[in-house]
Amino acid sequence: MLIVLSGPSGVGKGTVRQAMLADDFRDFQYSVSMTTRKPRPGEQDGVDYYFRTKEQFEAEIAAGQMLEYAKYVDNYYGTPLKYVNKTLDSGRDVLLEIEVNGAMQVREKCPDGVFIFLTPPDLMELKHRLIGRGTDSEDVINKRVKQAAQEIKMMENYDYAVVNDEVPKACKRIERIIESEHLRVPRVIDKYRNMVN
């Protein structure tokens, strides 16, 4: 099953994803995204993102090797297609942590995915989180908050909305969604048809 975790910049997608992956109970594979932005302190290539130049990223686009991609605040972000297909074919769930525009591209290509929109409690809290990062200028923060307001309007294109008020609570909510989705009849019916036959 393809699980798409998305939401505005600064909402805590990366923090929630890391907390979910730290719990061995959750059996899914995280698909590392590719970006042209510079690494933040502590981020590692191939772990947090595949960090590439603009030219390298555009070559991947031209070769049709991206499941989705978007340009956000002057940087590209995207999901390498090969890794996602290989993991799904092996029978494991794949978790994508991506921006809103990228999620809409995935929605078109993989309509049976599970699309979860992570929301901030409110926009002021989002701004405080962005300031707390200490990685962006005031101008960039203001652009991100303005962009976030537009992205929240796109929530109607998702299956679920989860408020990230506290990371452990948000993880638990997402875990319940994934468990429920695994029990949906369209996902299990073939197994039972084979059993009956």
Q: Give residue-wise pLDDT tens across range 61-118.
A: 999 999 999 888 789 988 998 889 888 999 899 999 888 888 999 999 899 999 999 9
Residue 172 labeled ligand binder: no
**58 CB burial (10 A radius; 0-12, 13-18, 19+):** middle
Q: 């999620």: which residue's tokens?
A: 103
Residue 10 labeled ligand binder: yes
Residue 185 labeled ligand binder: no
Residue 168 labeled ligand binder: no
Residue 12 labeled ligand binder: yes
CA angle 87, 85, 79 (to 5 degrees): 100
Instruction: Give the start-to-end residue ranges of the domains of the chain.
Output: 2-196
pLDDT band at 26 (very low <50, low <70, confident <90, very high): low
CATH architecture of 2-196: 3-Layer(aba) Sandwich (3.40)
Cα separation values, 144 from 68, 93, 99, Å: 21, 30, 12
Residue 46 labeled ligand binder: no
